[in-house]
Amino acid sequence: MVAPQTFGRYRVTGTLGRGAMGEVHAAVDEVLGREVAIKTLHGGASGLAARMLDERFKQEARAIASFTHPHVVQVFDIDLAANPPYLVMERVSGPSLKERLAERSLSERELRALGIQIANALAAAHAAGVVHRDVKPANILIAGEGTWKLADFGVAHVPDSSLTMTGQFVGSPAYAPPEALLRGQLGPAGDIYGLGATLYQAISGRWPRAEGTSGALLGPVPPIAELVPAMSPQVAEVIDRAVAIEPDQRPSAADFASALARANTQPVIAATDPARIATPTPFAAPVETQFVASTPGATAYAAHGAAATSTSGPMATAPG
């Protein structure tokens, strides 16, 4: 009989996802008796690569531990001395918004709930000086009916961080604001752009910059009412503001949440079937993975490797 895998006091009960840089396991805290998710790093890295991976793990733990919010996945524990190093997190029922959108788009009511919850989570993070820098459907998890949580602060910026050098871009180009792609500038307004792009896709069924060319990644996004004419003007207006080219034209996270809460929900559009979900172009699909690049003009390279392939059941966040 094979003994169950353990990480300290945590007994592994299954695998939730795998990626190029690590895995996410389902586990039980044998002291407190609660279900958790354990994010691990693959072994084999050495030197600078190992130090950067350790720093990203610590940075993710520090980012989430620096504030609390009901719509952010919690971190409970970290052990960098273990082999492999691991991060213990709240176990969320899942699936991710990315997986949900593969089945259907969201109704306007669902969209507003999602937007309010994640915008409020970002407002709490920004108030603590934390910038997520990779807001996208894969990093938003379903935590129960009508409840969403923001996950994966692995590339977040915390006030005392020196890991990312000035002029570097970190995140996912498909959801990144123009100032990040051009100048490597990632601040709170960039998180708003990522959330706006996510909401845009969630209700319209297409990528915000679907053409998949460098020009499309930097250009303006068509008004969402052109794709979803039945949605309420107030919701359409706040999403359009969130994906504005200029950062100072975007609302703050708190204003974003307030605008969605005030929005008149009439007329409310219903969810659509998978036929309405646009198929990403060959360029758009892979750029959702995390990248670090010196900008402008540098060649991007994967910082965390391919996104995890999730298996059925609860999840915390994709490794990498």
Among 74, 186, 65, 79, residue whose Cα is nearest residue 135 = 186
Given a cut of 90, is residue 252 above it in pLDDT? yes
Domain 97-310: assigned CATH number: 1.10.510.10
Are 58 and 80 in contact by the 8 Å Cβ rule? The answer is yes
3-class SS of residue 239: helix
Question: Which one from 29, 134, 191, 240 is the annotated catalytic residue?
Answer: 134
255 catalytic? Reply is no
**Continuous segment of H or E residues that includes residue 77:** strand 75-79
**Continuous segment of H or E residues that includes residue 122:** helix 108-127
The more confident residue out of 213 and 75 is 75
* Local confidence band at 155 (pLDDT 50, 70, 90 cut-offs): low
Q: Hey, which CATH number is domain 6-90, 3.30.200.20, 2.70.150.10, 1.10.760.10, 3.40.50.150? A: 3.30.200.20
The reported pLDDT for the residue numbered 2 is: 54
The predicted-structure confidence for 112-144, as pLDDT tens digits, reads as follows 999 999 999 999 999 988 888 889 998 999 998
The reported pLDDT for the residue numbered 261 is: 95
Are 94 and 313 in contact by the 8 Å Cβ rule? The answer is yes
**Cα–Cα distance, 70 to 233 (Å, whole number):** 29
Q: What's the average model confidence in pLDDT over 168-178?
A: 73
pTM: 0.76
**Per-residue exposure over 150-169, b if at least 16 CB sit within 10 Å of its own CB, e if not:** bbbbbbbbbeebebbeeebb
Cis peptide before 84 (omega within 30 of 0): yes
The predicted-structure confidence for 65-80, as pLDDT tens digits, reads as follows 778 899 999 889 888 7
Place of tokens 């998890």: 141
Lowest mean pLDDT among 26-35, 185-194, 267-276, 306-315: 306-315
* Local confidence band at 83 (pLDDT 50, 70, 90 cut-offs): confident
* Local confidence band at 198 (pLDDT 50, 70, 90 cut-offs): very high
The more confident residue out of 211 and 80 is 80
Q: What's the average model confidence in pLDDT over 229-258?
A: 96
Place of tokens 């180009």: 173
The reported pLDDT for the residue numbered 103 is: 93
The reported pLDDT for the residue numbered 318 is: 41
Tell me whether the CATH fold assigned to 6-90 matches the one assigned to 97-310: no
Domain segments of the chain: what residues? 6-90, 97-310
The more confident residue out of 317 and 216 is 216
Given a cut of 50, is residue 306 above it in pLDDT? no
Q: What are the C-alpha distances in Å from 100 to residues 117, 122, 200, 307, 320?
A: 17, 21, 15, 16, 20
The reported pLDDT for the residue numbered 208 is: 66
DSSP category for residue 157: B
Number of CB atoms found within 10 A of residue 38's CB: 28
